Structure 1
Amino acid sequence: MTGHPGRPSWDEARAIAAVAGSALPRERVALDAAIGRRLAVDLVTPIDLPHFASAAMDGWLVAGDGPWRLVDSDPGRGQAAPIVTGALVAADAFAVLRSESGEVAGGMLRSTVAGEPRPGHHIRHPGTEALTGERLIAAGALLNPAHVALAAATGADDLLVAAVPSVALVFTGDEVVTSGVPGPGRVRDSFAVQLPALIGMLGGRVTGTARVPDRLEDTVAALRDADAALIVTTGGTGTSSADHLRDALRALGARLLVDGVAMRPGGPTRIAELPDGRLVAALPGNPLAAMVSAITLVEPLLAGLAGRPPAPTHPAGDAEVEGRAGTTVLVPYSEVDGRPVVARWRGAAMLRGLAAATGILIVPPNSPAQSLPLPWHTNER
C-alpha cells in the first residue's frame, strides 16, 4: 500500500504539532500544588543548607574531654548540657554525645562508648547540603514530593511552574453506547473512560467534555463552544455521510495544519487552528488508531503549549515488522530479550495488543525504526 499523496509523513506531522501553538503563561503555585507540575525556572537556594549549626542527635552538648559536669545550658570546657535533635549550637561547638552513649551519675556525664564523641560528632554544620546560590532543581524537572520539601527548606512558599494546557473532549458517533454490552450495529464507548487520564499522562488537563450526534450543526456548535486551549475530538474524520469534522472546521474558518497523515493506523488524524487560536486535534474513531495518534501527535501539541519539547523517540533495534511504501507504520510492542516484539493484535480497532504493550514502534518507509514508551510506563510524562 502506498502513502496518500499530499499527506505529511508522521515525522512532519509531529514537527508541525510541536510548533502549532505558543507556550501558555507560566503559573506560580503553592508548594503543595506544585507536585506533578514541571518547574519553569531553576530553583536556586538563597541560603546555606543547613543555614545554622545544629544537633543531629538527642543527647548532650559537650565541651572538651569527659567526664563532664552537667549544666543547664551553654557548657564551658569540661561541662555538658542536654540538647535535642535540631537545636541550635554554637558554630565552634565541640560535639554532641548521643543519649544512648552516655550515663549520668552524681551530676557527672560519662561516655559509655569508647571513642565517643569525636570532635564535631553529631553536629550538622552549615552548608553541608548546599551553599547559597547553588542550583538544587533544574528547570523542566517534573516535581515530586521530595522536590517540594527541598524547596520548602530553602524558604520558598511557592514555585513558578509551566502551564498545564486545558483540553476539551468532543466525542462523536450515533453508534456509540456508554454502558453495558453493545447490540448489533453499536459499539461501546472506549474513549470517555480513558482519554481524560491519558490526556493527563501526556501533560494536559481535561476541563470539559461533550458528546455530539453525527450532525454537522451539532459538531460545529461543540467546537465553537469548547473552552480550552486544545480541543480533542474522536470520530468523524473520514469522508462518509456521517463524518462532519472536516466540514465543521471549514465552517468555523479553521486553518488545517495537518489534513491527514501518511501513517497507519491513524491516517485520518487532523490538526487545525481555529481563528481565535484554539487548536483542534481530530482523532479517528477506531480505538487503536485514536490512541496511537493521541500518544504520538497530541503529546507534542500539549508539549508546545506547555513550552517544552516533545517526548523523544528512541532507536528500536531490529523491528519485527516491515514498513510500507510512503507510510509510517505504528504498532504496539513489548521488549523481549532486548528486542522489540510487536503485538499480535494491532488492527486499527483492536486494543488488546496495546493493553499488554510497553511502547509504540514507529517504522518509517525508508528509515530505521524508532520507539516511544507508553505514557503509563514512564514517569517522564
Structure 2
Amino acid sequence: MEPMTTRRLLAVEDARARMLAEIEPLRPEVVPIARAVGRVLAEEVRAVRDQPPFAASAMDGWAVRACDCPAPLRIVGESAAGHGYDAPVGEGEAVRIFTGAAVPEGCDAVVIQEDAERDGNVVRVPAAEPGRHVRPAGGDFRAGEALLAPGVRIDPWRLSLAASAGRAELSVHGRPRVTVLSTGEEIVEAPAEPGRFQIYDSGSPALTAMIAGWGADATRGKPVADELDAVIEALRSADADLVVTLGGASVGDHDLVRAAGLALGLEMKVESVAIRPGKPTFFGVLGDGRRMLGLPGNPASAFVCAELFLKPILARYQGAPAEPAMIAARLEEALPANGPREHWMRAKLAYADGTVTVRPFRDQDSSLVSVFAVADALLRRPPGAAAAAAGEAVEVLPLARA
C-alpha cells in the first residue's frame, strides 16, 4: 500500500465536486401521495383549479349584502361547508353561514354571529364592509399556478399543498440503496460484551440512521474482521448503489478497505481530502459500477465527512440540491490561526436579538461522540485562516437536530 504522503490531498469543495460528478439522479417513480413524505419531486406540481374555488366565509355568522347594513334582514337559508346556498340573495335578505362555506351569490360580507341578534326568521346586523370575513376565490392559489418545483423534498406541509391541488400521486426520484460496512477488530456490537481492548460500535448505527434520514434506503452490514479476504467479500456482497465503509481507510497494517476496493476494480476519484478531521476520506467507482465512499473510523471524523460528502451524494441521487447550506454567524470567543487543512469544528449556535452567534467546543478530538451529541453546527475554518477575534463573522453549517 502506498504511503499517505504520495496521495493527492484535494480541497473539500474539489473533493465534493469530483464525487458528485459520478452521481446521477435515480429514475423517477410514481407513488401514492401518502407515501411521498421524505421523497424528492421529479415533476412540477401545478394547480388544476383555484383554491378556494369559491368565495368562502372565514367565520361563523351571516352572509349579507354590505349595502343593506345596518338593518333587520330576512333569513332565507343556510350555507355550510360542502352544502352551499344555491339561490341569489336579494335586497334585505341574509343567509346563515359557517366557516369554510361558500358565500352565496349576491353577498359580499359576513357579519360574525357575536355581532348579530336573531329573532325568529329575522336577524339584526350592524354595518358591514364589503369583503369583511370573506376569503376570496383563488386567495390561496390560482388554476395553472406552479405550486411545487422539481427537486423539493416533500414534507407534510408540501404534501398538503399537493393534496389541495387534487394530486393523488406524485412522481419522485428513487431512493438510493446504501450499505454501511464497519471494519476493525476493536469494534463490537451491543449487547455483546466487549473484550478488554474493544469498544462498542457507535459509528455505523448512527451513520445508518443519518442515511435513512437523508432519504436513502439504508442497510447496516455486520462488522468486518481485519482480514483482506473478509473485507473483499463484504464489499462484493453489498447490494447497493453506494457502499459506505467506516474505518480502515488510512494506511495502517490493518487498514485494508482501499486494498479490498482495488481488488474489486476500484477506480479512485478522490484519494484523500485536506480536511480536519477526516483526511483519509476517499471515493471511487467499483468495477461493477457501484460507488464507494470510504470514511474514517473515528465517529466525529466520519460524521463531519458524512455531512460534507455523503449527504450531498445522497441528495444528488435524489435530484435535490447537493451543496451544503451555509450560514453566517458571529464568534462568541476568539479562535487561533488555522493550519493548512480546512478545519470543521463542532459548535453550538445561539440566537438573540436577530443575531446568530457560534461557540466552538474546546475539545475537538475526533473520537469524542459526547461532543457531537450536543453540537448543532459545524464551524468552517479555511486553510491557513488568520486568528479570528470574538464577534468576527464565520461560516457555519447548521446540523439538523430534533
Give structure 1 regions of 4+ aligned residues with deviation exceeding 6 angstroms: 316-319
Question: 1:51 — aligned with what?
Answer: 53
With 167-176 and 96-105 compared, the bigger mean Cα shift is at 96-105
3-state DSSP of counterpart to 1:212: coil
Q: What one-letter code is carried by the residue in structure 2 that aligns with 1:61?
A: A
Provide the rounded CA distance (Å) in 2 between the counterparts of 1:294 and 1:95: 56
**Structure 1 residues 101-180: aligned runs within 5 Å:** 101-111=115-125, 114-115=126-127, 117-179=128-190
Residues 303 and 153 (structure 1 numbering): CA distance in 2 closer, same or farther, change over 3 Å? Answer: closer
With 327-336 and 253-262 compared, the bigger mean Cα shift is at 327-336
Residues 374 and 98 (structure 1 numbering): CA distance in 2 closer, same or farther, change over 3 Å? Answer: closer
Deviations 1:320-366 (A, max 9, x none): 143323x3333323357966543222223222333332322333434
Deviation at 1:374, TM superposition (A): 4.5
3-state DSSP of counterpart to 2:153: coil
Deviation at 1:168, TM superposition (A): 0.9
Deviations 1:75-133 (A, max 9, x none): 4322233333333344433433333333332432222xx32x33344333312222222
With 56-65 and 216-225 compared, the bigger mean Cα shift is at 56-65
Deviation at 1:3, TM superposition (A): 7.2
Q: What one-letter code is carried by the residue in structure 2 that aligns with 1:343?
A: F
Please tell me whether the aligned partners of residues 167 and 204 of structure 1 are also in contact (alpha carbons under 8 angstroms).
yes
| TM-score in terms of structure 1 length | 0.85
Deviations 1:207-247 (A, max 9, x none): 44332222222212221221222111111223333222112
Question: 2:80 — aligned with what?
Answer: none
Deviation at 1:189, TM superposition (A): 0.9
Percent identity over paired residues? 33
User: Cα RMSD between the aligned structures?
Assistant: 3.0
Question: 1:248 — aligned with what?
Answer: 260
Provide the rounded CA distance (Å) in 1 between the counterparts of 2:63 and 2:360: 65
Provide the rounded CA distance (Å) in 2 between the counterparts of 1:14 and 1:269: 11
Please tell me whether the aligned partners of residues 64 and 110 of structure 2 are also in contact (alpha carbons under 8 angstroms).
yes
Residues 322 and 40 (structure 1 numbering): CA distance in 2 closer, same or farther, change over 3 Å? Answer: farther
Match of 2:76 among 71, 78, 85: 71
Aligned pair 1:37/2:39, yes or no?
yes
Aligned pair 1:311/2:324, yes or no?
yes
**Structure 1 residues 1-381: aligned runs within 5 Å:** 6-63=8-65, 64-65=68-69, 66-72=71-77, 74=87, 75-111=89-125, 114-115=126-127, 117-179=128-190, 182-307=194-319, 308-314=321-327, 320-325=335-340, 327-335=341-349, 340-366=358-384, 371-377=395-401
With 315-324 and 251-260 compared, the bigger mean Cα shift is at 315-324
3-state DSSP of counterpart to 1:192: helix
Deviations 1:255-295 (A, max 9, x none): 11112223232122111112332211111112222222212
Unaligned runs of at least 5 residues, structure 1: none
Deviations 1:33-63 (A, max 9, x none): 2333333444322211211233333334345
Please tell me whether the aligned partners of residues 93 and 120 of structure 1 are also in contact (alpha carbons under 8 angstroms).
no
Residues 91 and 82 (structure 1 numbering): CA distance in 2 closer, same or farther, change over 3 Å? Answer: closer
Q: What one-letter code is carried by the residue in structure 1 that aligns with 2:365?
A: G
Provide the rounded CA distance (Å) in 1 between the counterparts of 2:370 and 2:246: 19
Residues 140 and 332 (structure 1 numbering): CA distance in 2 closer, same or farther, change over 3 Å? Answer: same
Provide the rounded CA distance (Å) in 1 between the counterparts of 2:310 and 2:327: 18
Please tell me whether the aligned partners of residues 328 and 356 of structure 2 are also in contact (alpha carbons under 8 angstroms).
no
Provide the rounded CA distance (Å) in 2 between the counterparts of 1:57 and 1:374: 41
Residues 190 and 82 (structure 1 numbering): CA distance in 2 closer, same or farther, change over 3 Å? Answer: same
Residues 266 and 119 (structure 1 numbering): CA distance in 2 closer, same or farther, change over 3 Å? Answer: closer
Residues 322 and 20 (structure 1 numbering): CA distance in 2 closer, same or farther, change over 3 Å? Answer: farther
Q: What one-letter code is carried by the residue in structure 1 that aligns with 2:397?
A: P
Residues 87 and 363 (structure 1 numbering): CA distance in 2 closer, same or farther, change over 3 Å? Answer: closer
| TM-score in terms of structure 2 length | 0.81
3-state DSSP of counterpart to 1:109: strand
Aligned length: 373
Residues 283 and 106 (structure 1 numbering): CA distance in 2 closer, same or farther, change over 3 Å? Answer: closer
Provide the rounded CA distance (Å) in 2 between the counterparts of 1:174 and 1:207: 21
